Amino acid sequence: AIHSQQQQQQQQQLHRGNDSTGEAKSLLSESFSSTPTNQAVTHEHYDWTMGLDHTIWSHSTDSLLVRYATERAVSKVKDKKMTSLHPSDLFDEEEGATGDCDSSPSPSKEEVLLLSKQASTYELSVRSQSQSLLPALTPSSAAQSPLWGGDVGEQGGDEAVGGGKKLSDFSRAGLRARFCVIRALNEVTRHALPLVDLTRYEDQHDTAHALALSKGRLAQNLKEDLFRRSLELTRDHSEVPEVTANRGTLTADKRKADKTVFHQLFKCLGDLSKHSLRAVDKRGSGRQSWVMTFEGEGGSDYGGLFRDSVREVCCELQCCPSSLRLLVPCPNQRMGLGANQDRWVPNPALRSRKHMRMFRFLGSLMGASVRTGSAMELDLASFVWKSLVGENCTIGDLEAVDEQFGQEIAMLRTASASSEQWNALGTTWRIRGVSGRRVSLRAGPGDSAAPVAYQEREGYIAAYIAYRLGECAVPIAAIREGFFEVVPKLVLPLLTWRELESRVCGNAMIDTQALRSITEHNLPGKEKHPLAVKFWSVVEGFTNDDRAALLAFAWGRRRLPPGNKGGMHLKLEILHGRGDEALPEAHTCFFAIDIPNYSTEEVLRQKLLYAIHNCRCIDNDFVARGVALHHGEEALLEER
């Protein structure tokens, strides 16, 4: 428990100088203790601040509370232009929650205010959080946040929140009080974090281990400074390599493996002893890890071609059929069952040395995307991200992308009640893996097609689950190795799997208001110009896939980086001298789009949709590099 007297002692000790390192670590360790160090502030029954590992407030509930509060904070500051928020601003009466999940009476308003004052040194800094925590939401969407009703579990792979409880089950006063405790923890952690050796996070007796276990309770802006500095200190200041590739005229799903952009990049950059992807070059509208040239296509790389190559790689990895086969569709996608049918998993069947090098290179590309802010459109299963950050995977993670597996396990457990039911199943030692291929659970000699005896049922179920949990461990380990060759491993203990996914992949959902907020209208009258009005009316009616295609057309990538890191701005301009027959033009290096002043909104919609979904290659503004164009290719480019 953290109270005002204890906080004052901590502040005095932390400000006495560097000789207080041991004391600061001790205080931080006490903050994680589930045993209260002081009595409750006012009433004997009031135990809202008694330790972080409270029976009511599990880590998953606290993590959800932090995510929800952050989402609300971003919404509030956009709606009311506020610069700091108190718990009463985040959990107000409009939520309508009067839950009674907690076993003790809700704290009074006075008690919440007292806690708020005790934690006042850690006011929620919205100015920084809104740029680095979660995707910004509009006020209306934040008020209806699915986080309020429980854990979103985008991939369904999270543990039950607080034993199945939802935030709406708790009283508002209780949420405010608990949030004050978490704020106080963040304040202590902010001072003590520089004194903790995070490389010792695997030692269960070290403070770093306690920090790693409670990383979901820590605000992301608390980790942001450490993350940013670690990237800067480990940056390679040598020149970035130059890469030339030919993507030809075939789509990603029809290219041979050695003709893919991924394989061509792998040949040029796969040996990191020669080319370090820790080097970053800032040019044009962003940062890049290599300078890209596409044979047969005009254009100089000021960021646009680099981002285009990253997008091509993601398309090649996640297309079906794929000649690379590094990633395979998850079972739900393959069988058309359940949720998360857009997810992919590493192919466990690829075990050769070359394939391990390719997985390692994929991890390096993911690390480069973090350094440059160029989001990779990788829709990986939750258990992949959890494995990368060292979190334990659960059956729930597998069920999220393989509904049939969950049904099989449930059926096996039901049938294990009697030998008759078990024998009726006809279960054998051959099982179906994540990629769909059949494998044997029998390591030694024996017929894998033989039925599993009733006496072996418990061992069989345990072996089945263990195999599926570790099935992709080898390729994931290679991806992880490559990732940490580019991004320092020091940041690993404090990142949750969602935070890592966000840093690598950006935001899959593109909010129109968020896109509009980063747009520069280089038009007379700015966004009130008739062209701008028609443009945003059209974009509002787009699907998320259309908006992603618009980003790819104008910028060379399909996702916005989290918090718009890098300060990118879409530039909207009029394409003069063109009529309704002309198509929009894009300058991906500078995140700019030129649109003719179309006569109607419908014409703009048709032309824009055609351009964003059909114009893939760089236009032939000047003599193409590397190869001569054939007559048909010239005609295609001229038509565009």
Kindly give, in sequence order, each residue whose CB lies less than 8 Å from that of residue 83, ignoring residues fewer than 6 positions away.
Answer: 77, 126, 127
The two tokens of residue 504 are 């690598």
Per the CB < 8 A criterion, the answer to whether 434 and 345 are in contact is yes
Give CA–CA dist 489/499, Å, rounded: 15
Question: What ranges make up the beta strands (E) of 7-142?
Answer: 84-85, 124-125
Return the CA Rg of the chain.
27
Instruction: Give me the DSSP letters along 531-569.
Output: HHHHHHHHHHTS-HHHHHHHHHHHHS-SSBPGGGTT---
User: Where does residue 252 rank: exposed (0-12), middle (13-18), buried (19+ CB within 10 A)?
Assistant: buried
- The residues assigned a catalytic role are 589
Instruction: Give me the DSSP letters along 343-396.
Output: -EEE-TT--SHHHHHHHHHHHHHHHHHHHHT------B-HHHHHHHHTPPP-HH
Give CA–CA dist 266/243, Å, rounded: 10
User: Where does residue 154 rank: exposed (0-12), middle (13-18), buried (19+ CB within 10 A)?
Assistant: middle
Rounded alpha-carbon distances, angstroms, from residue 620 to 136, 161, 581: 38, 55, 19
The DSSP bridge pattern shows strands 84-85 and 242-245 to be unpaired
Give CA–CA dist 615/593, Å, rounded: 13
Instruction: Report which of 616, 631, 603 is spatially closest to residue 299, judged by C-alpha positions.
Output: 616
Per the CB < 8 A criterion, the answer to whether 618 and 640 are in contact is no
Instruction: Report which of 168, 155, 85 is spatially closest to residue 119, judged by C-alpha positions.
Output: 85
Per the CB < 8 A criterion, the answer to whether 322 and 313 are in contact is no
The two tokens of residue 483 are 């990732």
Kindly give, in sequence order, each residue whose CB lies less than 8 Å from that of residue 158, ignoring residues fewer than 6 positions away.
Answer: 60, 151, 382, 396
Q: How many CB atoms lie within 10 A of CB 233?
A: 9
